Amino acid sequence: MDIAAVLLDMDGTLVDSTAAVERAWTTWALEYGVDPADALAIAHGAPADRTVRRLLPGLDDEAVAVSAGRQLALQYDDLSDVVAMPGAAELIAVLARRGLPWAVVTSADVRLAKLRLDAAGIAPPLLVTVEDVRVGKPDPECYLLAAKTLGVPPEKCLVVEDAEPGLVAGRAAGMQVLAVGGDLSLHDVAEAAA
């Protein structure tokens, strides 16, 4: 692989926030009369407003914004078990040793991203959030923005992701994509560091 920059997803890739995400979506679903299993099946890796639109297609834009805001508020206050993923520190150290620029590219808003990254002890040199783009993942805009900001052509970027919306976004951006977690290509970012 000819890699000049690495673009890392946050939740499930660098930061273990799965329990917090699932608690927040479960609480939200119960408040809004949605089956929590339906919410959890599509929420990972997608912006809150996109998930709300899919779960409650009858809402107008204002109601979607209010509903997504409620869902995010539940996540802002739930950081008790948010930590760095196994191997995150090793991967960041490898990037530093190799002098590879890197960024965190997330479907979270800037407030949630900073809270979770701080809780995990990770300080990215560049942070691209859903607030920086018109459309979140699976649209490739977020990854293209990160590459442009780092001054690296998309084809020389490696996207490291754990969720389908991010994998789709990376591929659509014309970038090399590495899937981690679950039944995907690698178990965790420690394997990516190796």
Q: In degrees, to the nearest 5, what angle opens at C-alpha 15 toward C-alphas 93 and 82?
A: 125
Question: In terms of DSSP H, where are the helices of 32-109?
Answer: 36-43, 48-55, 61-76, 88-98
Residue 183 annotated to the active site: no
Tokens of 96: 């530093």
Q: One of 9, 16, 109, 188 is an active-site residue; which one?
A: 9
- Give 180's strand partners: 186
Q: Which residue has the tokens 């995400």?
A: 21
Closest CA to 12 of 74, 86, 110: 86
Q: Tell me the C-alpha distance between 2 and 18, whole Å.
A: 32
Q: Which residues, at least 6 apart from 175, have a Cβ–Cβ distance to it below 8 Å?
A: 7, 143, 147, 154, 155, 157, 158, 159
Q: Which of 2, 11, 38, 78 is catalytic?
A: 11
Residue type, 163: A
11 catalytic? Reply is yes
Catalytic residues: 9, 11
